[in-house]
Structure 1
Amino acid sequence: MCLFPGALVNIYSKFGRVREARLLFDGMPERDVVLWNVMLKAYVQLGLEAEAFRLFSEFHRSGLSPDGVSIRCVLGGASKVDSIECKRNEEQVQAYGIKMCSFDDKSDVIVWNKTISQYSQVGEYWAAVHCFVELKRSDVEYDNVTFVVVLGAIASINDLHLGKQVHGMVMKSGFGSEIYVANSLINMHAKMGCLDYSRAIFEEMEQLDLVSWNSMISNCTQSGLEEESMILFLGLLRDGLRPDQFTLASVLRACSVVHDGAQLGKQIHVHAVKTGNVDDNFVLTALIDAYVKCGCMEGAELLFNKAYDFDLAACNALMAGYITNQDGHKALNLFSLIQKHEQMPNQFTLATVLKGCGSLVDLKQGKQIHAHAIKVGSDSDLCVSSGILDMYIKCGVTSDASMIFDGISKPDDVAWTAMISGCVDNGDEDHALWLYHRMRHSGIPPDEFTFATLIKACSCLTALEQGRQIHANVIKLECVTDPFVGTSIIDMYSKCGSIEDAYQLFKRMDVRNIAFWNAMVVGLAQHGNGKEALNLFKNMRFHGIKPDHITFIGVLSACSHSGLVSEAYEHFESMYKSYGIEPHLEHYSCLVDVLGRAGLVNEAEKVIESMPFDASASMYRALLGACRVQGDAEAGKRVASKLLALEPLDSSAYVLLSNIYAVANRWDDVSDARKMMKTRNVKKDPGYSWIDVKNKLHLFVVDDKSHPQADVIYDKLDDLIRLIRKEGYIPDTDFVLFDVEDEEKERSLFYHSEKLAIAYGLISTPPSTTIRVIKNLRVCGDCHNAIKYISKVTRREIVLRDANRFHCFKNGICSCGDYW
């Protein structure tokens, strides 16, 4: 071989004239391994990695075998680029290195280490482990660096058994005392959840460097041991070491959880200023995040505004804080600032600002950001697609949300929960439950928030059986002790008419916070169990639980449904005197309801006039209902005028007023009320009732004959009317709002929606089954009376939930004691 042309190739390469070098190289009749390596090195040094890979392929096909230098050279260039094609070529070179066993001398352990490291860097952790196994089989001796890189790969695989085997090899080889290897062992065990092993290694180390401390501090924080993380940080300082940006970022993450975290965060902030780390973007972001999570938005904003550089990560941290604090406008303003600085928003930025659009119900801005995400190719990112989904849901555009959701190839639990929650929030509870079954079929386990949302759906649908099924899944996945889930289940059972199930669950709870007590007190009040609710309230205080404003809504409701006027006044006055709770409008509404139901309409009006709030329509509506019960036409007229001044299109006001006039036989006034409705184009809300039979809802309206079994239902109801008349039932024609003959008045009462629903329940369920019916309006007095008799003659328990409360009919008696 002529050495002179080879030397020229090398010279051309060193001066960057790679084209001339390649021409000369191609013209050589003979080329040895060294010359191939010179040409490879030239391409790598000039950043022409793709050409280097192509030349390596030619080298392989030439009949010569690339050596360790060849592989080292190509892999060294590959680490500088991040293209998919380059990574694919890199993997081929690595595979060649392992297959050909071209590591033919002791120095080639460097190539092995580089190969293992490269596999880890591209996420091919098992390939890295396989490479380590091949190295172990070869004649090449591994070194401390080998263990450092392979321990990192095993940590990412999270294979504890394999990790322990390699740990044993480390100790046997004598490398365990080397600080870099020990640090890798600490990190590997911590990532596998074996922090005790990490702690033991850490404590046995003769010498600790900053990496050792950082690894323990970071892993303690990530494992939820924030207090220990802070103690370690103090130990680091006592050891005389100077924290770097990684130390400070890790310990700042702990500040949002530990006691006095805000104060500790400020102290670490001062330390970062003194050490010059505050200008590091990594530390700046951690500081902003700590201030945000400690609720100190002013501190976070001040820090952000004083920053030297405009850093995207810092923007993201501050934006997340705005969203947490429900300040969507500031989040959108910050997003505009990012665009003005010509920064490219990343996936986290887009997902966060989309939440801001959703919170503001800003569909226009949300669509613009969605379009931007599509333009930059980020819409397929799971985090961004979940943000887009959430935005459309919050803006009420469920059709677009469904399209986005269906376009996600593998939705995670966040996406599933967002879609389920959106359906519930937008009144499509049936679809939410259907999605839940799809979610389970896909293998994604629901979390606590998913369960709470699903239970809410069952509450809205009064779907007791489905609620019980979800409760069973909650128990199976051990989520029932979560306060959010537990209170939702108690609330669901209460709203589905099964107060017994609610109370049994409440009693089984080992730990009961204020939310559990409130849910149970309110549930008992809704069911008219006023005395039980007040006894529970007394028991709650006995256990040292301080009541809040929600507790007193339940307490006052219990007084209202049980006619306990003096007790209501006593509890109302104790709110501020005993607990420092200022009564809200809801508490005044409850007190007005107590007085109205007790027939003290004038006193109720005085309460309205004296309270420090403007009266609400619901308050006057409740009072008007009380006037109906008391038959007080003049007070009814007075209250109705105030209600209609607030809500002139409220159909219930006209209906209630017509009821009052009809009972008083003031038919001209009834006619006037109807004319007023017609003049103002007010449509009466139709009354309807429904019943759930075998997870299918059956809805009925008055005189409804649309049901497929209408003939059978009417026959059953006619039989029931005959039976209860024999027992003493007399139709109450006071609830007929038109002046006709008594016989026609009676017949018009027989086919109200709740009676039809009960009749269907009786023919569709086994004899011992409780009948559960829901009505959207207040049950009329005649139906209430008739259902008492029906429960007696059929020996069935009938639970009726109307717009005001629950009525539990059993053996001819209602739980309300005829006081509702």
Structure 2
Amino acid sequence: MSSQYQLDSLLQKCTSLISMKQLQAHLITTGKFQFHPSRAKLLELCSISPAGDLSFAGQIFRRIQTPSTNDWNAVLRGLAQSPEPMQALSWYRAMSRSPQKVDALTCSFALKGCARALAFSEATQIHSQLLRFGFEADILLLTTLLDVYAKTGDLDAAHKVFDNMQKRDIASWNAMISGLAQGSQPNEAIALFNRMKEEGWRPNEVTVLGALSACSQLGALKHGQIIHAYVVDEKLDTNVIVCNAVIDMYAKCGFVDKAYSVFVSMTCKKSLVTWNTMIMALAMNGDGNQALELLDKMVVDGVVPDAVSYLGALCACNHAGLVEEGVKLFDTMKGCGVKLNVKHYGSVVDLLGRAGRIKEAFDIINSMPMLPDVVLWQSLLGASKIHGNVEVAEMASRKLVEMGSNNCGDFVLLSNVYAAQQRWCDVGRVREAMKIRDVRKVPGFSYTEIDCKIHKFVNGDQSHPCSKEIYAKLDEMKFRIKAYRYSAETDLVLHDIGEEDKENALNYHSEKLAVAYGLISTGDGTPIQVIKNLRICVDCHAVIKIVSIVYNREIIVRDRARFHRFKEGVCSCRDYW
């Protein structure tokens, strides 16, 4: 048996720090420590193995008279994966000053440290160095580089690296698609996924996860269904993480029945995340009772609910207006040892507040063992707006200012409270405060998917190629819904202007434009799906309910908080949102 084979065999048996120290002692006593290649393998084992110890790897390294590139790389790899990845960059700089040459692996490990530390400037320096070293043909290295740029938010730089690659592998495509999906460019992620297939590549589990994430963000059902069909054909649905992503995609497209169908038909073992994803899907769609039933079934099936499971169930109670059930669940959580966090308290505060039990909501905030966050006070402010409680609204607004919140929604909610009371001087005061603090209102926009193409609209938008037809349809809608005794909710407009101007301002909200486009571009009876970045307003909600009767259409609107499924003049939220 060769010496190398014996040492490799010993390395495989190193499953504890003690055995690693024994092997180091063996290498030293036999005189092989200074030249044997197994030394670098031992260093790597100490650096990245769960049983290893980075500090011990450092001790081994310091005993080497002339460390090789492999020795440096072994420690660098461990540092890049450690809880303090910036140390990898310090190690990389030290190696750059040593007699040993940096190789492509060195740069790759250093870039992985940059990705984990979100160290953009350091990554650009390594980028220039790897070009100088002549490593630009290394696919693995360039993939790591584009991944760093994507994770640090420079998608243009990531795309430039991707486009300039002489060769690509599946990991390159995956890194770019995931980067676009996670970097708020879901349209581009889907386009790249389609291009990848056109060029003959075969997407794997990682690819479809990125593409499904993009579909979830956009509510792009048609694209999502195509990807789901691919998942089934390629038998990728044996992977529970992929199944979870498919469930999430259907849920975020507003088709919770399809999500549930995937959930019940899974052939792989459901994980805790699977149950949580389905519970939250039901919550977002207002199916509160079914979400609570699923929580019970989860326990029967031997899966222990965690804090996320209970948060999903609380959200379900919140969205369905199940006040007593939500309060009971909250008390149960406190009694069974679930570690409550600020989100659990926030959900109950919102539940009570929106039900008009504002004093109870305020008492819960005061009883919290942790400091309330901005979201809690925003929930109380929102409840005060719904129920016209000026005093609590002003108090919550002061708290938000004290916490340094500069969210336009806080000011808009307070303005809404004053506007509902026709206190225009106070509305003007809030508006002036927004100017002083340079707070800008987030513009409302909506998406709709028609024939696998995403169309975006902003309030009052006239940039769409079919703008003339869209506005003609809006006028028609406005005329036809008046037969159902519709009158515009002009008290929602925060301007002391004439009623006609207020009505026009409401009529051109982005979700109405998207619905109008859906009506002119799809056949009779085809469901219309709209994704909105803000909460749907009361007037749009009232209009779309009537439109669903007048045009005999099912209209699904996903706003910032939940889904609204309009059918035959009724919304799935039962006018509680």
**TM-score normalised by L of structure 1:** 0.66
What letter matches 2:56 in structure 1?
Answer: L
Task: Provide the residue aligned with 1:695 in structure 2.
Answer: 452
Offset at residue 348 of structure 1 (A): 1.5
Task: Provide the residue aligned with 1:560 in structure 2.
Answer: 318
CA distance in 1, matches of 2:332, 2:74: 44
Q: Cα deviations across residues 395-429 of structure 1 (Å, max 9, x unaligned)?
A: 32322322222222221111111122222232222
CA distance in 2, matches of 1:437, 1:705: 30
Contact 2:43 2:60 survives alignment (8 Å): no
What letter matches 2:182 in structure 1?
Answer: D
Structure 1 residue 305 and structure 2 residue 59: aligned? yes
SS of residue matched to 1:480: helix
1:116-127 map, 5 Å: none
The structure-2 alpha-carbon separation of the partners of 1:598 and 1:268, relative to structure 1 and needing over 3 Å to count, comes to: same
Task: Provide the residue aligned with 1:541 in structure 2.
Answer: 299
Contact 1:281 1:314 survives alignment (8 Å): no
Task: Provide the residue aligned with 1:54 in structure 2.
Answer: none
Q: Cα deviations across residues 429-472 of structure 1 (Å, max 9, x unaligned)?
A: 22222222232233332221221111111112221111111122
Q: Cα deviations across residues 185-206 of structure 1 (Å, max 9, x unaligned)?
A: xxxxxxxxxxxxxxxxxxxxxx
Q: Which moved more, 1:617-626 or 1:315-324?
A: 315-324
SS of residue matched to 2:530: strand
Structure 1 residue 623 and structure 2 residue 377: aligned? no
CA-atom RMSD in angstroms: 2.5
Task: Provide the residue aligned with 1:406 in structure 2.
Answer: 163
Q: 1:529 aligns with which of 259, 283, 287?
A: 287
Task: Provide the residue aligned with 1:520 in structure 2.
Answer: 278
1:451-462 map, 5 Å: 451-462=208-219
The structure-2 alpha-carbon separation of the partners of 1:376 and 1:675, relative to structure 1 and needing over 3 Å to count, comes to: closer
CA distance in 1, matches of 2:134, 2:184: 33
What letter matches 2:394 in structure 1?
Answer: K
Aligned length: 570
SS of residue matched to 1:638: helix
Task: Provide the residue aligned with 1:755 in structure 2.
Answer: 512
CA distance in 2, matches of 1:518, 1:368: 42
Q: 2:180 aligns with which of 414, 418, 423?
A: 423
Contact 1:563 1:819 survives alignment (8 Å): yes
Structure 1 residue 726 and structure 2 residue 478: aligned? no
**TM-score normalised by L of structure 2:** 0.92
CA distance in 2, matches of 1:601, 1:409: 62
SS of residue matched to 2:448: strand
Structure 1 residue 295 and structure 2 residue 53: aligned? no
Structure 1 residue 588 and structure 2 residue 345: aligned? yes
CA distance in 2, matches of 1:397, 1:574: 46
CA distance in 2, matches of 1:407, 1:251: 44
1:575-654 map, 5 Å: 575=333, 577-578=335-336, 580-654=337-411
SS of residue matched to 2:236: coil
CA distance in 1, matches of 2:396, 2:360: 13
Task: Provide the residue aligned with 1:135 in structure 2.
Answer: none
Q: Cα deviations across residues 83-126 of structure 1 (Å, max 9, x unaligned)?
A: xxxxxxxxxxxxxxxxxxxxxxxxxxxxxxxxxxxxxxxxxxxx
Offset at residue 210 of structure 1 (A): 6.8
CA distance in 2, matches of 1:577, 1:555: 16
Contact 2:446 2:458 survives alignment (8 Å): yes
Q: Cα deviations across residues 340-387 of structure 1 (Å, max 9, x unaligned)?
A: 432212221210101112322333322322232222222322222222
Q: 1:770 aligns with which of 514, 518, 527?
A: 527
CA distance in 2, matches of 1:314, 1:389: 26
CA distance in 1, matches of 2:154, 2:296: 46
What letter matches 1:558 in structure 2?
Answer: A
SS of residue matched to 2:457: strand
Q: Specify every segment of 5 or more residues in structure 2 that has no aligned partner in the other structure, as ranges.
A: none
What letter matches 2:270 in structure 1?
Answer: R
CA distance in 2, matches of 1:706, 1:748: 17
SS of residue matched to 1:627: helix
1:78-157 map, 5 Å: none
Q: Relative contact order, CA 8 A, sep 6+: which one is greater? A: 2
What letter matches 1:553 in structure 2?
Answer: L
CA distance in 2, matches of 1:319, 1:611: 44
Offset at residue 513 of structure 1 (A): 0.9
Between the two proteins, what is the percent identity of the paired residues?
Answer: 36
Offset at residue 743 of structure 1 (A): 4.9
CA distance in 2, matches of 1:332, 1:481: 39
The structure-2 alpha-carbon separation of the partners of 1:719 and 1:458, relative to structure 1 and needing over 3 Å to count, comes to: same
Offset at residue 808 of structure 1 (A): 0.6
Offset at residue 573 of structure 1 (A): 3.9
1:443-482 map, 5 Å: 443-482=200-239
CA distance in 2, matches of 1:348, 1:500: 48
Task: Provide the residue aligned with 1:246 in structure 2.
Answer: 8
The structure-2 alpha-carbon separation of the partners of 1:286 and 1:586, relative to structure 1 and needing over 3 Å to count, comes to: farther
Offset at residue 271 of structure 1 (A): 6.0
Offset at residue 301 of structure 1 (A): 2.5
Task: Provide the residue aligned with 2:259 in structure 1.
Answer: 502
Task: Provide the residue aligned with 1:787 in structure 2.
Answer: 544
Task: Provide the residue aligned with 1:270 in structure 2.
Answer: 22
Offset at residue 516 of structure 1 (A): 0.8
Offset at residue 326 of structure 1 (A): 4.2
1:196-211 map, 5 Å: none
What letter matches 1:623 in structure 2?
Answer: L
Q: Cα deviations across residues 24-59 of structure 1 (Å, max 9, x unaligned)?
A: xxxxxxxxxxxxxxxxxxxxxxxxxxxxxxxxxxxx
Greater fraction of residues in helix: 1
Offset at residue 642 of structure 1 (A): 1.5
The structure-2 alpha-carbon separation of the partners of 1:444 and 1:245, relative to structure 1 and needing over 3 Å to count, comes to: farther
Offset at residue 690 of structure 1 (A): 2.4
Contact 2:374 2:405 survives alignment (8 Å): no
Contact 1:593 1:623 survives alignment (8 Å): yes
What letter matches 1:305 in structure 2?
Answer: Q
Offset at residue 269 of structure 1 (A): 5.3
What letter matches 1:270 in structure 2?
Answer: Q
CA distance in 2, matches of 1:406, 1:735: 48
Structure 1 residue 736 and structure 2 residue 490: aligned? no
SS of residue matched to 2:495: coil
SS of residue matched to 1:306: helix
CA distance in 2, matches of 1:493, 1:797: 17
The structure-2 alpha-carbon separation of the partners of 1:337 and 1:577, relative to structure 1 and needing over 3 Å to count, comes to: farther
Task: Provide the residue aligned with 2:124 in structure 1.
Answer: 367
Bigger radius of gyration, 1 or 2?
1
